[in-house]
Amino acid sequence: MYRTVNCGELRLSHVGQEVILSGWVQATREFGSLTFVDLRDRYGITQLVFNIEDDRELCEKARELGREYVIKASGLVRERSNKNPNRPTGDVEMEVKSLAILNKSKVPPFTIEDESDGGEDLRMKYRYLDMRRNPVKDKIIFRSQVAFAVRKYLMDQNFIEIETPCLIKSTPEGARDFVVPSRMNPGQFYALPQSPQTFKQILMVAGFDRYFQIVKCFRDEDLRADRQPEFTQIDCEMAFVTRDQVLDVFEGLTRYVCKAVRDIDLPEFPRMSYDDAMRLYGSDKPDTRFEMTISDLTGNAQGHGFGVFDQAEVVLGINATGQAGEYSNKDINKLTDWVKRPQIGAKGLVYVKWNADGSIKSSVGKFYSDETLISWCEKMGAAKGDMLLILSGELDATRKQMGELRLEMGRRLDLIDPAVFKPLWVVDFPLMEWDPDSNRFHAMHHPFTAPKSEDIDKMLDGDHETMKKLRADAYDLVINGVEIGGGSIRIHDRALQEKNFKLLGFTEEESEKQFGFLMGAFEYGAPPHGGIAFGFDRFCAVMQGSVSIRDFIAFPKNNMGRDVMIDAPASIDAEQLEELGLNLNLE
């Protein structure tokens, strides 16, 4: 028997009991004849005490314990004279009667404290030590609780969790697949799924009208910060549903989970069109925790002889409330540099300060009268003391730049309350995007997304310009400016699916080879259906107000796709390669 209680559970009510504890040595300290050991496990920390006057040998053994030694201690629970109110077990301590060292530990390469002195690389290499730290441990436990709450809600709603295969077929459309050579079928490869999309649609054809799965997905992309080659989705699909029924179910899920794991009551989930999101927030994932929406000043700004604005497709502005007196010329210059960074890409920044004394100061003052500039302020709901920030250029680019500037100003003005959760649905996305590089359309979501029913006819016989305007029955869930998930009503008709593949530049042969099984299934009684997938890692992170997903993953990979703890990927035996019918072909 290694323990009768854990290190987090002893209270005053246990005083006088003989107990056994096992755990890790967090710290030892001496105080006169006494030696104290903080013993830690997953559940907490309990103070052990040894007295050299009672048992010299035992106490000396305790004095030799190193950090992270694994020990087992038996003894008597007693009330502490010097209580620690910051620790749930802080009213008591164990007077140790016997002590066993279960395993020694080398000195850890970084401190096992909430604020560690270990850098990212070191922490990843010794992930088992990193995970002993509360901030990481708590996130991993939180993730487990979220997963269970998700399952509880969906099972209660009659969803069935169905495992779809990991060894499937490569479909070069979209992101790059990881492939798996098949030894039994030489020269052939499986692919790891980027998502269970086609399988969940097949399950709808099979009649399982409510499917879900918390499932690993794989994408062989060049990794940006906070991207992982393997990640987890909450993947769902429903048959015989309209869009609003899907949104209601997953609004319910989000609400339930936030309440269950964080005791947060989410506010309403407004539904905002993609067009409105782009127009007002310059983003399809608006952070609606603060206002500062974008105003269109094009009509007001053009025709006054300022060439930059006159030649721009749009002139857009936001109002930085109360900032007229806060931003010096130097500050404005710095902000201008910020918007001109390649990540933002603006050409310049125009400001209009409506000073508290009613005077106007602007970088474009020589082109516009004070009255005109005040009329801009008034149009945008600004008051004396406010400052307008204005960008101009091509519509889509300027909106995106303005969206970034809005977020930056929200942060600078401390308008973003990290304790607030603002979910919303963004709906009515474009069906397709024109890609000038490849000179063809791409599906904005994926090629299985249905157009809105009123757009189906236009799609079947529309021209290029019509294509651009088609709306998809697609939706994204956004919380605090982060896209948590997205989905759509799907095409369930073979002819429409074929048409869509054609518009997306698939040859008939390609679409048949890659997705023939799905289109074949559509011919045997496919019901109308739609679904959604949540990024599970991100969902967990957002609920904790965290920007990084990495610590919500027990064993994340680094930006080169490497697991530095186990040192993978690695070379394999020549024999393995030969069995797979492969040769290396390295330059």
Q: Could you say which residues in the range 138-197 bind a copy of itself, by CB under 8 A?
A: 140-141, 143-144, 147-148, 151, 155, 160-170, 172, 176-192
Q: At what angle do helices 395-412 and 329-340 cross, to 10 degrees?
A: 130
Size of site (CB under 8 A) for a copy of itself: 121
203 is an interface residue for a copy of itself by CB under 8 A: yes
**The only residue of 129, 320, 389, 405 in contact with a copy of itself, by rule CB under 8 A:** 129
| Window 7-46: residues binding a copy of itself (CB under 8 A) | 22, 24, 40-42
Burial class, 560, CB count within 10 angstroms (exposed 0-12 / middle 13-18 / buried 19+) = exposed
The two structure tokens encoding residue 265 = 């009551």
- Number of residues written out for the chain: 587
Q: Which residues pair with 70 in a beta bridge?
A: 24, 103
Closest distance to a copy of itself from the beta carbon of 503 (Å): 21
Which one, 393 or 487, has the nearer CB to a copy of itself?
Answer: 487
Cα separation of 100 and 143, whole Å? 34
What residues from 213 to 252 belong to the interface with a copy of itself (CB under 8 A)?
A: 216, 218, 220, 222-223, 229-230, 232, 240-242
Report whether 344 contacts 405 (CB < 8 A).
yes
* Window contacting a copy of itself (CB under 8 A); options: 260-268, 394-402, 444-452, 524-532: 524-532
Listing DSSP states for 106-155 in one string gives PPPSS--SSS----HHHHHHTHHHHTTSHHHHHHHHHHHHHHHHHHHHHH
Interface residue with a copy of itself among 8, 44, 108, 345 (CB under 8 A) is: 108
Antiparallel, parallel or unpaired: β 230-239 and 529-535:
antiparallel
**Cβ closest to a copy of itself, residue 229 vs residue 345:** 229
Q: 3-state DSSP call for residue 352? A: strand
Burial environment of residue 117 by CB neighbours within 10 A (0 to 12, 13 to 18, 19 or more): exposed
Which residues 415-434 are close enough to bind a copy of itself by CB under 8 A? none
According to CB under 8 A, which residues from 38 to 97 bind a copy of itself?
40-42, 68-70
Per the rule left: phi > 0, alpha: psi between -120 and 50, beta: everything else, 298 is: alpha
Contact with a copy of itself (CB under 8 A) among 18, 33, 114, 128: 128
Among 32, 207, 303, 418, binds a copy of itself (CB under 8 A): 207
Considering the rule CB under 8 A, would residue 527 count as an interface residue with a copy of itself?
Answer: yes
Tell me whether residue 358 or residue 581 sits nearer to a copy of itself (CB atom). Answer: 581
Other CB atoms closer than 10 Å to residue 312's CB: what's the count?
A: 20
Specify the residue, 54 or 493, whose C-beta has the smaller distance to a copy of itself. Answer: 493
Is position 453 an interface residue for a copy of itself (rule: CB under 8 A)?
no
| Contact criterion met (CB below 8 Å) for 45 and 9 | no
Applying CB under 8 A, does 206 fall inside the site for a copy of itself?
Answer: yes
CB of 387 vs a copy of itself, minimal distance in Å = 45
- Residue 497, token pair as written in the block: 């699916």
Regarding 110 and contact with a copy of itself (CB under 8 A), the answer is no
* Spatial contact of 386 and 319, defined as CB atoms under 8 Å apart: yes
Structure tokens at 48: 């052990």
Contacts (CB under 8 A) with a copy of itself, residues 478-497:
492-493
3-state secondary structure of 356: coil
Task: Quote the least distance from Cβ 127 to a copy of itself, whole Å.
Answer: 7
**Member of 517, 545, 547, 574 binding a copy of itself (CB under 8 A):** 517
Q: Is residue 554 near a copy of itself by the rule CB under 8 A?
A: yes
